[in-house]
Amino acid sequence: MVPVVVPDANVLFGAASRALLIALCQLRHIRLHWSELILDELARALVETGRQRSRETAERNTARMRDAIRDADVSVRQVQARFKDVAPAVKSPKDLHVAACAAAVLWFRGDVSSVVLITRNLKDFRAGALARKRILVTTLDEFLVRLFKAQPLSVADAFHHLRVSFKSRPSVDRLLDSLLGDGLTLTCALLASAADAGDIQL
């Protein structure tokens, strides 16, 4: 079954890792879902850190994300409906909406058996409590390593798709460096090693 993924805003913050997740979804190697609350948090972070010059430019960025994956959105109403259910499993109130989004995907989309919640802040979630609700909490690096070990060609396919989609056509090493900058240390090591061995093409 294709993994169903809800990324925290902090996972979407890095441009290269954000684009790789979208590429994986576009190629149907994962199913990606987010809410307006997650995208709003992302937009605010992009402006506050200077990655985007204004709220307007940040919202154009999130609009492009929505255009890229038109069925990713989970409504705010659906997310809010699951707040009470997941509140005991979340340590930080600011992250309640992320866990609730994952729960809403399970509740309102009948074909989903489990959801992977990807975050940089594992400490903000009670992983055991969420696992009992069929929400698996992990980092992006850990998720991609598991996906690569199960389906190496899928991750390589998304990497290549992403690389050739850029007008600049970055080299393999340059794109790996960008992903490394987003903290994907193990994933980049696996991709580089498999490419050097001739097992995959990037």
Q: Which residues pair with residue 34 across a beta bridge?
A: 73
How many distinct helices (H) and strands (E) make up the chain?
Answer: 12, 6
CA distance 179 to 200: 18
pLDDT value of residue 46: 86
CA distance 120 to 101: 16
pLDDT value of residue 5: 98
Using 50, 70 and 90 to split pLDDT, how confident is the model at 10?
very high
What does the block give as tokens for 83? 């707040």
Render pLDDT for 48-65 as a digit per residue (tens, 0 to 9).
887 777 888 878 889 999
The mean pLDDT value of the chain amounts to 94
Beta strands in the chain (DSSP E): 4-7, 31-32, 34-35, 73-74, 115-118, 135-138
Render pLDDT for 169-192 as a digit per residue (tens, 0 to 9).
899 999 999 999 999 999 999 999
CA dihedral 62, 69, 101, 134 (to 10 degrees): -140
Stated pTM of the model: 0.94
What does the block give as tokens for 193? 């090693």
**% the chain with pLDDT above 90:** 85
